[in-house]
Amino acid sequence: MLSSVRNSWFSNIRGDLLAGIVVALALIPEAIAFSIIAGVDPKVGLYASFCIAVVIAFVGGRPGMISAATGAMALLMVTLVKEHGLEYLLAATLLTGMLQIIAGYLRLGSLMRFVSRSVVTGFVNALAILIFMAQLPELTNVTWHVYAMTAAGLGIIYLFPLIPVIGKILPSPLICIVVLTGVAMYLNIDIRTVGDMGELPDTLPIFLWPDVPLNLDTLMIILPYAVGLTVVGLLESMMTATIVDDLTDTTSDRNRECKGQGIANIGSGMLGGMAGCAMIGQSIINIKSGGRTRLSTLSAGIFLLVMILVLDKWLVQIPMAALVAVMIMVSIGTFSWGSIKNLREHPLSSNIVMVVTVIVVVVSHNLAFGVLAGVLLASLFFANKVGHYMLVTSDYNEESDTRTYTVVGQVFFSSSEKFIESFDFKEATDNVVIDLSRAHFWDITAVGALDKAVVKFRREGADVEVLGLNEASATIVDRFGVHDKPDAVERLMAH
């Protein structure tokens, strides 16, 4: 027990605390920006980020992953806030948390096994593009100072680690933020700062129960939004967990993460915060800055609250150019550059899935739509590919006037048409044997194809024998098949 706690919390104290500072600094402008997107006060996003990060550190299933208020979730809240106000958003946040806890107990986190590597790659690349695009407003219609500061920030981020000893001890994104803030303050440069994003809260969050009627009408208003927030939140969290797993060569408990996200969102809603989920960008900042355990997530949340309450006079001086440089570093590090080279090596179907996922996410700015499109395409390609691995051969015995058809492979909706086309129904033969000992029937479409083949042969005057069904195939054929029923033709025509 003690060994497990030590590994989960205290095996990387210095790296986790330093990474937590960097993540907290990067969370502030993002939380404010996401609040603005959702149409609520900046403190709603900041309180949410603090609460979610602290709670998920204890109950989440992926150590080292950062969860807070996110843009993907904020986009889904806009209409609800505009039409019904903040109180209904808080109620929707509580319902989102409950639905996510239910999803965890239903083990829906295990559904990630249906998401192919191509979809994950497309998701990551799309997110990298979105992160970079989100920085463009800070780089358009600005003075040359902004470009100089951003370039200097990138230089610090990539060159500081090359310095012996100290370059390995301190995270370069933190050095970038501190140095550029010092330079901007010393030279009194007129440049956009964190303070220009919105007013920081000056009090601790307090317990709030949403001031909404507890009736069916309220439920009908918030349920559609809560379902959307649940799906997007869990999708982004599960995808982020997969990426952090790869970066750290460790594993995560996805069903525990589902429950943890739900508990964190309930806590956020009760403290006046908006719903949130795992953040790929911030999680990568955490990992790149040396964060590995739950302590990094906890420290990010605590440092965030301390900074906005105690160090607010300094925080408002941080130039946005410094944070833009950090986020550009994140987008560069997030993008899977190897996927471009792999376009020539990977199968066309995998490339199409990856590219479509990227396009849908970038165009819609909705990560769930992109993942859904990618999973759907990957499933269709897989079904088409497996459908081709079905073969029907035949052998004729003159003595008994018997044609034996041997079916090999998987028979289901994709291969059922090929299955039927493999038989010669017009051949004048008295006996037909359909040998299914090397085949497997998966669905009612396959059963219907078998029924159709048997009935067609019988209508041509042949005696048909079906043999060799394995136990699983026999179960579905016995339950849904009609070819062995007295009224087979009538029942088949009724399908």
Reading the block at residue 409, the tokens are 């492979």
Distance CA 481, CA 351 (A): 39
**What was the pLDDT predicted at 226?**
92
pLDDT single digits (tens) 305-347: 888 888 777 777 888 888 788 778 878 877 888 888 888 888 8
**What is the secondary structure of 54-79 as a DSSP string?**
HHHHHH-SSTT--EE--HHHHHHHHH
Alpha helix locations (H) across 166-253?
166-169, 172-187, 216-248
pLDDT of 489 higher than 60: no
Report which DSSP code applies to 481: -
pLDDT of 239 higher than 70: yes
Pairing relation of β-strands 402-411 and 431-441?
parallel
pLDDT single digits (tens) 470-485: 888 888 888 887 766 6
Report which of residues 176 and 488 the model is more confident about: 176
**What was the pLDDT predicted at 428?**
74
CB-based contacts of 378, cutoff 8 Å, min separation 6: 116, 118, 119, 349, 353
What angle separates helix 280-288 from helix 216-248, to the nearest 10 degrees? Answer: 30
101 residue type, one letter:
I
CB-based contacts of 435, cutoff 8 Å, min separation 6: 404, 405, 406, 407, 467, 468
Residue 249 pLDDT class (50, 70, 90 cuts): confident
CA 117 to chain centre: 12
91, 211 in Cβ contact below 8 A? no
Integer angstrom CA distances of residue 346 from 125, 134, 261, 340, 353 = 16, 30, 35, 10, 11
Using CA atoms of 17, 283, 269, 39 in order, give the dihedral in degrees to the nearest 10.
Answer: 120
Q: Is 3.30.750.24 the CATH number for 390-493?
A: yes
pLDDT of 80 higher than 70: yes
**What was the pLDDT predicted at 96?**
94
Q: Which of 103-107, 255-259, 314-318 has the lowest mean pLDDT?
A: 314-318
- Strands (DSSP E) contained in 236-376 are 277-278
Q: Which of 60-74, 269-283, 473-487 has the lowest mean pLDDT?
A: 473-487
- Residue 281 CA neighbour count, 13 Å, CB half: 29
**What was the pLDDT predicted at 483?**
66
Residue 260 pLDDT class (50, 70, 90 cuts): very high
**What was the pLDDT predicted at 102?**
93
**What was the pLDDT predicted at 479?**
85
**What was the pLDDT predicted at 175?**
83
pLDDT of 353 higher than 80: yes
CA 111 to chain centre: 11
Is the pTM higher than 0.75? The answer reads no
Where along the chain do its domains lie?
Answer: 2-338, 390-493
